[in-house]
Chains A and B, each alone.
Chain A
Amino acid sequence: KAGVTQTPRYLIKTRGQQVTLSCSPISGHRSVSWYQQTPGQGLQFLFEYFSETQRNKGNFPGRFSGRQFSNSRSEMNVSTLELGDSALYLCASSKKTGANTEAFFGQGTRLTVV
């Protein structure tokens, strides 16, 4: 059974640009969540999608957005990149929405903004 796949693994962008990250969940999983991890910080919740609908959103500015497709694949977009957006972005999938269930994480996309 294939795991959660995130592409690309590494990305370098310039301030002001926008970026799109992709996540393919485990087959059969309908929930996809996105997290940001910065050095020394825990995983900060960005948002969760379930059946193409955003179910929950963290405390991030509107520059961070996402969507989910009918096949449960999800994309995350960050517009007008700032240096502080440099981080590891992790996607996690689970069978059911949100809470009280284990999540399966991808390897992450390491974004560097210069």
Chain B
Amino acid sequence: DQQVKQNSPSLSVQEGRISILNCDYTNSMFDYFLWYKKYPAEGPTFLISISSIKDKNEDGRFTVFLNKSAKHLSLHIVPSQPGDSAVYFCAASYTNAGKSTFGDGTTLTVKP
């Protein structure tokens, strides 16, 4: 039972446009969500997070939106840059879970 799903394995956008990466979860206990970015031959790096008490968190070009009723979150990147090309992982956790549960990742390609 996959509790965190990223249904789009890949996404391609033009430089300067908006990238929207989606993530769905099934476990109602999740109350903390994170996005990580991974370049080839490197480990994932933390990008942005959001607590379930919020519905939006913004950090520069990156904004994460959380819709608890739909059990859905999304990462918006505006404007997209070629350097944003990477695999993006969504992760979810809850207090006392002891771990984050990751989705399978979405490969973002930003074309110049």
Contacts and interface: CB of A to CB of B under 8 A. Distances in A.
B15 interface: no
A97 interface: yes
B100 A103 contact: yes
Contacts, number: 70
A104 B100 CA distance: 12
A21 interface: no
A33 B89 contact: no
In which size bucket is the chain B interface? 20 to 34
- Interface of chain B: mostly helix, strand, loop or mixed: loop
B46 A42 contact: no
Interface in B42-58: 42-46, 49, 51
B32 to A, nearest CB: 4
Interface in A18-71: 33, 35, 40-45, 48, 55-56, 58
Given A42-B103, A105-B45, 10 more contacts: A4-B43, A6-B43, A43-B91, A44-B102, A98-B97, A99-B95, A100-B31, A102-B34, A102-B46, A107-B43
